[in-house]
Chains A and B, each alone.
Chain A
Amino acid sequence: MDKAKMLQISHRRNLLALAAVFAVLYVLMLTRSISVQYQGVIILIGINVLLATSLNLTTGALGELVLGHAGFMSIGAYTAALFTLHMDLPGLVEFPLALLLGGALAAVFGVIIGIPALRLRGDYLAIVTLGFGEIIRVIIQNMSITGGGRGLYGIEEYTTFPWVFWTSAFGITIMYALIFTRHGRAILSLRENEIAAEAAGIPATRYKVLAFAVSSFFAGVAGGLYAHYITVLDPGTFGFNMSIEILVMVVLGGMGSFTGATLAAVVLTLLPELLRSMSDYRMLLYSIALVLMMILRPQGLLGKKEFSLTRAWEQLRKKAETKGGNA
């Protein structure tokens, strides 16, 4: 079998598995086997997965610590919300447009932030992203069109489970696939050794900006989904703490692993729901987990490993074959 054909089969298998997961969850939701409360949690999981994987692109793959991811998210959230509030189009048309627009504007800001990244080393860039997140929040709090400190009300509740599931799946696929292209490899090489990569002819500027643009685009899309799920936007939500919560997901899952970011986002969204009585201790536990993780296993739970359905399938088949051969 030639390589292209095998790839095609594995793509089809992945899509099938994705559709199966979706179908199972959706049927459970329609039959109310999953309570309404948990349906909301599942939507939040989808949003957080998209946020964590998009942050993983800059913090994990590019290796630049970003402390203002919530800022990109808030740009997407407000842009998308203002678009649907002021447009009178049918939901099926205006919602995807709003998400795209929110993502696009966030990406523009991502590029703006990416530009100082050319000149600054790691920790300075981290501070710039933090400062940027704060600037965005203060500006949103002081603009009249965003409702100022009172927030934005009456946003249409467009975000449903199918929307979240397929948007997030699409986003992750794009970002994951990007890593395997020439451009993605260039981004990874910048993480490993910037000077060596530049000496090998990789334009550091262009690839840093690219990573920031894609990452902030999907953060913006996630923000749009969030705005149309929660229906009320308060600029205080998108503060430093939210940026840190997203960062914790990436760090715990394993910086550079999309599988890790996804798993950590699922677990860290579910846990607080299961442990409601512990909600006062949530940030305390997060911070202890963060410090212990850095000391004991700085690469995160999964390190840079990824789960591949095709690989798992192949291994299963091989095992079955050797068993069959023995018998």
Chain B
Amino acid sequence: MDFAQQLINGIQLGSIYALIAIGYTMVYGIAKMINFAHGDIIMVGSYIALMIFQNTGLPVWGVIAASALASALLGMAIERLAYKPLRGGSRMSALITTIGVSILLQNVFLLLFGSSPKPFPAAFEGEGFTLAGVPVSRLTLVTLLVTLLLMVLLTLFVGRTKLGKAMRAVSEDQGAAQLMGINIDTSISLTFAIGSALAAVAAVLYSSTYPLINPYMGSMLGLKAFIAAVIGGIGIIPGAMLGGFIIGIAEALIKGYISSALVDAIVFSLLIVVLIIKPSGLLGKNEREKV
């Protein structure tokens, strides 16, 4: 396979990672916790989309919107029920709770749908175009355009709107934001909703690319997107986008030129190296720990 083809595969996968990584980064920025259950929201998003595909005649954009809405509600519900009671507690309890929620979601869907993979309908079939002799499928094009559109919208939302400003304020200093009259609960709920909705969009794009879905699909996907968020600098939205593309392209190139069996091990090693050299990530600033 030639280099340009690998690069395009990498960009396609990278946009999906970037969408998921944004969810990790936003939640980390505002709630200061790693949401291990985020990966499983992707899985839930895929199953919801599959159910809607099978039971209704909704066009694909409607399916994506419905799945995003349902996932956003689920994300908010999880935050309210499981994470909110722990706010202000130890970080370790929060982390263990998110792991618990992750296993819970996996096992609920395992009981509901069984462990055998389910085929996902091909949503964006058809010819794309040829770029300098390399065929680009319609799915690749749609994935990239949807990702870029959502990133622009998100950047505008976070940067320009009142709610976005409130979210940034909460992530900078929760106490001060509260004193300024910002509703912290609403901001945090909104963050979870946006992150989960983006994960659901990524889920449909991912499942269209690799059309077999199972209850465990989210864990590895989520971990890699998390690595992307850390590499870009966790808590920083542009960092998550950058990290997503880096991981996606790196993965495609490793698969193409080194070994497809070792790809996960190499990606994790990449994470460890980045963490040791620059723990705050590529775009992160070094922060001194205050006593």
Decide: A130 near B96, CB < 8 A? Known: A119-B276, A122-B91, A283-B107. Answer: no
Instruction: Check A251 for interface membership: any CB of B closer than 8 A.
Output: yes
The answer to whether A195 has its CB under 8 Å from any CB of chain B is: yes
A134 and B230 contact, CB distance less than 8 A: no
Contact of B91 among A123, A288, A295 (CB under 8 A): A123
Flag B63-94 by CB within 8 Å of A: 1 or 0 each: 00000000000000000001001100111111
Select one of B100, B279, B289 contacting A287, CB under 8 A: B100
Q: What residues of B have a CB within 8 angstroms of the CB of A294 in the complex? A: 86, 93-94, 96-97, 100
In angstroms, Cα B261 to Cα A124, docked, is 25
Residue on A nearest B271 in the bound complex, by CB: A131
Q: Is the CB of A283 within 8 A of B103?
A: yes
Cβ distance B186 to chain A, nearest Cβ, rounded Å: 22
User: Which residues of B sit under 8 angstroms from A135, Cβ to Cβ?
Assistant: 264-265, 268-269
Number of A-B contacts (CB under 8 A): 115
Whether A25 sits at the interface, judged by CB under 8 Å, is no
**Chain B residue with the shortest CB-CB distance to A199:** B291
CB-CB contacts below 8 Å: A243-258 with B: 244, 247, 251, 255
Complex interface: chain A residues within 8 A of B291 (CB): 195
| Structural contact, A280 and B271, CB atoms closer than 8 A | no
B104 at the binding interface (Cβ < 8 Å) = yes
**Closest-CB distance, A9 to chain B (whole angstroms):** 38
CB within 8 Å of B: which A9-38 residues = none
With most chain A CB atoms within 10 A of its CB, the pick from B89, B96, B291 is: B96
Q: Is A155 at the interface (CB under 8 A from chain B)?
A: no
Specify which of A123, A128, A142 is in contact with B34 (CB 8 Å cutoff): A123
Pairwise interchain contact B264-A134, C-beta atoms closer than 8 A:
yes
B271 adjacent to A138 (CB under 8 Å): no
Interface flag for A126 (CB, 8 Å): yes
Closest chain B residue to A241, Cβ basis: B103
Number of interface residues of B (CB under 8 A): 43
Do B34 and A247 touch (CB < 8 A)? no
User: Which residues of chain A come closer than 8 Å to B102, judged between CB atoms?
Assistant: 287
Total chain A interface residues with beta-carbon distance under 8 A: 40
Partner among B106, B107, B230 whose Cβ is within 8 Å of the Cβ of A127: B230
Decide yes or no whether B262 CB sits under 8 A from chain A.
Answer: yes
Asked if B265 and A287 sit within 8 Å, CB to CB, the answer is no
User: Could you say which residues of chain A place their CB within 8 Å of the CB of B104?
Assistant: 284, 287-288, 291
A residues whose Cβ falls under 8 Å from a Cβ of B: 63, 65, 67, 116, 119-124, 126-128, 130-132, 134-135, 138-139, 141-142, 195, 240, 244, 247, 251, 255, 280-281, 283-284, 286-288, 290-291, 294-295, 298
22 inter-chain pairs at a CB distance below 8 angstroms, sorted by A residue, are A65-B92, A119-B276, A123-B33, A124-B275, A126-B95, A127-B227, A128-B271, A131-B269, A131-B272, A132-B272, A134-B265, A141-B261, A142-B259, A247-B99, A280-B111, A281-B111, A284-B104, A287-B103, A287-B107, A294-B86, A294-B100, A298-B86
| Interfacial residues, chain B to chain A (CB-CB below 8 A) | 33-34, 82, 85-86, 89-97, 99-104, 106-108, 111, 219, 223, 226-227, 230, 259, 261-262, 264-265, 268-269, 271-272, 275-276, 279, 289, 291
